[in-house]
Amino acid sequence: MSAPILDLHTLPSMPATLLRAANPFGKSRGATSLPALTLRAHGCRASPALLERYRTACGFDTDGFLPLTYPQVLATPLHMQLLGLPGFPYSAMGMVHVRNCIQQHRRIPDTAALTVACRFEARREVLAGHEFDIETRIESQETGELLWQAVSTMLRRHAARKEKDGARKAPPPEDMRFASSRPAPWSIPADTGRRYARASGDFNPIHLTAVTAKPFGFPRAIAHGMWTLARCVAELGEAAHVDPLRLDCDFKKPLLLPSRVTFQTARESGGVAFRVLSEEGKPHLVGRLG
């Protein structure tokens, strides 16, 4: 990481960083670049109580290692602090998490002391608005070994283009990889967003209740995208219990709570594809583990 580094001795408080990131005032709205700063926190450990909540909310067993998706939870306070920097041009409210790529180099013991570092990586204009990436690296504090890294892609939509883009968007072609897949039905309860928030610290109002989600354009609360991804990984079982691993996913349609959805998998060379479909057959998430 070539950006200047700000070293922290503990992870920031999630409530405070969420408020700063969501605040629309004091932003550099005309900025054409993202702040060039790496935030790095030392001595990070998973809280046993919060980790147990996470396992329960997402369906993971207790096996002595962090679930493949859990390091993202440890990094989220740093992500929020990046989004709250004065040089960042947008409020976090209304941003959409569109993609995630995780590379696990070695499984992480659930008691390990870790160094977590995050920075903005790239910004680009797309048809729907502006996309930008947040890179996360997690190392063993004891040895400095790189254990886990990820790129999270976020979208800030152009309001004026939203309706036009939706009007001319053609339905995606059927993904024939899943033609012979045996579907697994999931019934997702209304309190899923609240249970995941209590485990992850992400209390974004769009995930909590219909009342708090409606001001942001949703008829009901929606599931956290990272909950949906984690639930998929838990369902994949032992396929996610090896190292190294790569996990890629695209977040598609918001998953309203409560919902009934279908989980499907398809074996591929060197890995497994998976997706979550709505009752109408539209994808909420499409991914690959391998």
- Least confident window among 29-33, 92-96, 123-127, 234-238: 29-33
Residue 38 tokens read as 């790496």
Q: Which of 2-6, 23-27, 178-182, 233-237 is predicted most confidently?
A: 233-237
- The stretch 8-13 carries a mean pLDDT of 86
Q: Predicted confidence band at 164 (pLDDT cuts at 50, 70, 90)? A: very low
- Tell me the DSSP string of the chain: --S-EEEESSPPPHHHHHHHHH--TT--TT-SS----EEEEEEE---HHHHHHHHHHHTPPP-SB--TTHHHHHHHHHHHHHHTSTT--S-STT-EEEEEEEEESS--BTT--EEEEEEEEEEEEETTEEEEEEEEEEEETTT--EEEEEEEEEEEE-HHHHHHHHHHPPPPPP-GGGTT---EEEEE-TTHHHHHHHHH----GGGT-HHHHGGGT-SS-B--HHHHHHHHHHHHGGGGSSSSEEEEEEE-S--BSSEEEEEEEEEETTEEEEEEE-TTS-EEEEEEE-
The pLDDT of residue 3 is above 80: no
Mean pLDDT across the chain: 91
Percent of the chain with pLDDT over 70: 91
Residue 228 tokens read as 């949906």
List pLDDT tens digits, range 238-290. Answer: 999 999 999 999 999 999 999 999 999 999 988 999 999 999 999 999 999 99
Domains of the chain by residue range: 5-162+177-289
The pLDDT of residue 168 is above 80: no
Q: Predicted confidence band at 29 (pLDDT cuts at 50, 70, 90)? A: low
List pLDDT tens digits, range 49-63. Answer: 999 999 999 999 999
Cβ neighbours of 14 (radius 10 Å):
17
The pLDDT of residue 69 is above 80: yes
- pTM of the entire structure? 0.92
Radius of gyration of the chain (CA): 19
Q: 5-162+177-289: CATH homologous superfamily?
A: Hotdog Thioesterase (3.10.129.10)
pLDDT at 24: 65
- Residue 234 is which amino acid? A
- The stretch 104-118 carries a mean pLDDT of 98
Q: Predicted confidence band at 86 (pLDDT cuts at 50, 70, 90)? A: confident
The pLDDT of residue 141 is above 80: yes
pLDDT at 163: 46
pLDDT at 2: 64
Report in angstroms the alpha-carbon separations of 57 from 97, 115, 190, 239. Answer: 20, 25, 13, 20
